[in-house]
Amino acid sequence: MIVLMRRTLLLLAGALIAILLLTAMRPAAQAPGAKPSLAERLGFKASDIVLIVNADDVGMSHGANVAVRTGMEQGLITSGSIMVPCPWFEEVAVYATANPTRDFGLHLTHTSEWKVYKWGPVANKAEVPGLLTPQGYLWPDIEPIYKNATPAQAEIEARAQVRKALDRGIDVTHLDSHMGALQYDMRYHAVYRKLAKEFDLPIRMGNQDLLTAMGGGHLRGELDADGTIYPDYLIHQQRKPGEAVDVYWKRMISELKPGVTELYIHPAVAGEEMQHITGSWKERDSEYHLFTDDASVKQLLEQRGVKRIGWRALRDLQRK
């Protein structure tokens, strides 16, 4: 009798272990009522690595426009952010309207950072006096904006940029903020949020840990309430001191997590124009080549099974 009981217990224990092992091997079921991930809402699996390769500073220079156009047509760039007030806006506007399937959003621009290459606002200068230097250009950094201007003036200028792009026929896919002018101060972030809702566009957002450290841990929840979509993760200034551009980006790609990530680069073709504008021209040229014709970057993305998308997918989902 005792032997029979022991055999029965052993059989039951074995069956229990088998059930536990099978359960562990199965994908975790979504909890009842759990919200689908952004990747799932976009038609991917929750375990997929989905990546937006966005080029900032489009329209800033001819070299930037050439790099972005080539990177979109021949390389890995999936979207670009246009600086409407800049001198080379019209060139990219011609390209964007002639190629409506390309993803172009707006790099809302409230600063003019280069020493001898400058631009002013799109709005009437009389309406945005606090955004202007004594020479009539936009300030070179964001601190003077917060000191001299108001969120209302920043909103006037941002809306003027959106309207100009739309009136020019650009099918705007998203919004982000040049140098973070609308992101690093909560008063100005309210403008950013308002415009995203008004024009029904997704926006760039920092990672939750970064937002929390800045006192903005609540911001993503506010956007959720608005119905505004943003990627899960943002690769933002994570380059180590002395780290080469190619090493940095390959490290970032190797560390991508499941979900939707945006990385942004500043590609520009090296040449006399860029050398006269910025001391970062070599880095910009390196990013251009890395994401256009560097086979090792493409191979790394393929090895990791990365799914590349543009911002249009997020915008279309939001507008549903």
Mean pLDDT, rounded, for 138-163 = 98
By the 8 A CB rule, do 162 and 195 touch? yes
Q: Where are the domains positioned within the chain? A: 37-319
The pLDDT value recorded for residue 34 is 80
What's the topology of domain 37-319? TIM Barrel (3.20.20)
Tell me which of 315 and 22 has the higher pLDDT: 315
Mean pLDDT, rounded, for 159-171 = 98
| E strand map for 16-171 | 49-58, 79-82, 104-108
CA 126 to chain centre: 32
Span 277-304, pLDDT tens digits: 999 999 999 999 999 999 999 999 999 9
Cα separation, 196 vs 181, whole angstroms: 15
Amino acid identity of residue 238, one-letter, is: Q
Q: For strand 172-177 and strand 79-82, is the pairing parallel, antiparallel, or unpaired?
A: unpaired
The mean pLDDT of the chain is 91
Span 179-210, pLDDT tens digits: 999 999 999 999 999 999 999 999 999 998 88
**What's the pTM?**
0.89
Residue 10 has pLDDT above 90, yes or no: no
